[in-house]
Each structure stands twice: as structure tokens, then as C-alpha cells.
Amino acid sequence: MKKVKLLIALILLIGTTVKADTPMPVELVYFEGSAVENGIMLIWGTATELNNFGFEIHRSINNAPYENIGFVFGHGTSYAPHDYDFPDTGLIFSGSFRYFLKQLDTDGAYKHTDTISVDFTSSAITEINYFQVEAIENGAELNWGTLWEVNNYGFSIYRGFSESEFDSIGFVGGNGTTIEPGNFSFVDTSVTIAGEYSYFIKQLSLNGASINSDTILVSIITSIIDFTTQELNFVLHQNYPNPFNPSTNIRFSLNNSGHVTLKLYDGIGKEVCTIINEYLQSGNHTINVNFNRPGLTSGVYFYKISTSGKSAVAKMILMK
């Protein structure tokens, strides 16, 4: 009987000792943020951790609603201190950035940290990711796109005969500041003399700054007779807009009439669908394709045209 009581006492003593060494619930030692070259760096640390699954990072920009922007795994149960960091980079907005951490336990429990505030001034500018010019009768069609816009007032369109002095021929408004991709177009039908013309666009910011695009040279004809008697080549043009959602235009030129197939492939080369499978006359063709169909996700796709033993492939980007 004494041996049994002694054994029970030892078990209780050992259990008490283990509980005394168990880490306390997750407690932050510090939580700070500082502006860096292209964003904000968040750092925080813990003394000990008990059942710590990790941390969700939540952010509000200029008093907008908070959003979950990332996750950092914790160290479960640990007796040692740990340091964490999270870079919030690629910021295009300027202003007051507020953050808090949502600490999650392995059993689903959670708690929020206090909120910290960091002022950040972005150096991002409106970025044009493509600019295309296609000759049409009596002018040209311009298409361009942006990855994002920062204080974007709009775009002035300039045209020059050959590479002579340029004149402003139009304006397309911008969208201010947005993280959404943008697609823009302008049709110039005011050319009266055939020849080579150069085009560029000037992006105008609300603060008065401006950036010029590259200049593109095209040959323009000014009569239907000239236009239809130009020698045609077999060409598959870049789709526009690109990136797009959910529809885009695909243009191609056929130097001979014949049976034509136009097919779509995913990023690893698997056929997705057939867009065209019919006999077409020679000439210039434009089709509008709507990709709002089940199974198509955001990503890179390829479209391939085939006719009379010839084929051409181009890349497009679907952004849902």
C-alpha cells in the first residue's frame, strides 16, 4: 500500500513539474512596421509559443476595410523566442497603412494583436505593358494596356508623318489610381495622304508628370482600291485587348482562300477548344471570342491558326 501511495505521489510531482515548464500562450514581444524601398516590412517576435499555428496579416489602406494579405506559420509549441517578418511589397498606393495580426492556435482559437500604422509614399507610376498600332483604311487603330494606374489622368495620342513633327490627334481618359489592369483603344481615321506615319501615346498624371510610349511606324493607304489591292501575307496578329476578361479580338490575314482552323491551347499545350473550323476567303479577318466558359481559369493560353499547310501561334493572357 505504501508503494502504491509513493508511486501516486511521484506521478503527481512529475505532472506538476511538466506544467510549470509548459510555455505560456503566444504573447508578442514586439510588432513593428517600417517603410522600405518598394513597400512596408513588418516584423514581430514571440517569447514562447503554445499550440501556435501561425499568423494572418491584415491590412487597411487609407481607412478602407481590412483585407487578409498573407500568412506566416508559427512554431507550434516552443520554449524559445522567435522572430518573424512579412514584406508587403509592390505597393502602388501612398498613404496610411494599418496592420494587425490574427494569431491562430492549432485548435482553431485565435486572437488579434493591437493595430500599428505606417505612412508610405509610393514611387510607382502608371505602367504600359503593351502598345500596338494596326493600319486601317485612312488611318490606324491603336490598342494599349496597363498593368495598373497611379494618378492617371489619361493618354494623349500623337501622330507624325514619317518621323517628322508630331501632332496631338486625340485623348483617352484614364482611371486615376487602380490596381486593376486596363485596356484602351483609339481609332484614327483622319489620314488623307497615303504614306508612313508614326504614332505614340503620352501618359499624363494628375500631378502634371508625363511618360511617352515607344513610337510605332505604320504604312497607311487612303483609298479602298489601294487597300484591297495591297499584297496580302499570311499573318496572325496579337489579340487585343491583352490581358483580357472575358472577351478579346483575334485578327489574321489570309493570302489565299481555303479551309482554316483556329484552336486554343492551355499553357502546357493541351487543346482546349476549336474556335474556327471552316472555309474562309482571302483577306483580313477579325473575330471576337468570349472565354466566359466553364473550366477556363486565369493564365497563359496559346491560339494557333492553320491553313493550306501553314500555321502560326501567338500567346494570350486571360485574367479573371
Q: Which long-range contacts (CB under 8 A, 24 or more apart) does 224-231 make?
A: 224/137, 226/194, 227/137, 231/255
Can you tell me the distance from the alpha carbon of 299 to that of 161, in angstroms, rounded to the nearest whole number?
Answer: 39
Which parts of the chain register pLDDT below 50?
A: 1-20, 224-230
Measured CA to CA, the distance from residue 73 to residue 54 in angstroms comes to 4
What is the pLDDT at residue 69?
95
pLDDT at 164: 63
Cα separation, 110 vs 227, whole angstroms: 69
Report the pLDDT value the prediction gives residue 68, as an integer from 0 to 100. 96
Does residue 156 contact residue 201 with C-beta atoms inside 8 Å? yes
Torsion sign across C-alpha atoms 232, 236, 242, 246: positive
**Range 22-25 contact pairs with CB under 8 angstroms and sequence separation of 24 or more:** 22/50, 23/48, 23/49, 23/50, 23/77, 23/78, 23/79, 24/48, 24/50, 25/50
Region of 176 on the Ramachandran plot (φ > 0 left; ψ -120 to 50 alpha; else beta): left
Residue 241: the pLDDT is 80
Is-contact 248 316, C-beta < 8 A?
yes
Residue 3 has a pLDDT of 42
Write the DSSP symbol of residue 151. Answer: E
* pLDDT at residue 17 in the model: 39
pTM above 0.75, yes or no: no
Residue listed under C-alpha cell 491584415: 58
DSSP β-bridge partners for residue 276: 262
User: How many CA atoms within 13 Å lie on the side-chain side of 270?
Assistant: 4
Cα distances from 204 to residues 17, 30, 65, 178, in angstroms, run 70, 43, 30, 15
Question: How many whole angstroms separate alpha carbon 172 and alpha carbon 41?
Answer: 37
d(CA 168, CA 188) in angstroms, rounded, equals 11
Q: Which amino acid is at 294?
A: P
CA separation for the pair 73, 82 (Å, rounded) = 12
pLDDT score for 222: 61
Q: Can you read off the three cell numbers belonging to residue 299? A: 493564365
Report the pLDDT value the prediction gives residue 26, as an integer from 0 to 100.
Answer: 87
Q: How far apart are CA 264 and CA 289, in angstroms?
A: 11
Residue among 77, 2, 89 at smallest CA distance from 38: 89
What pLDDT shows up at residue 24?
64
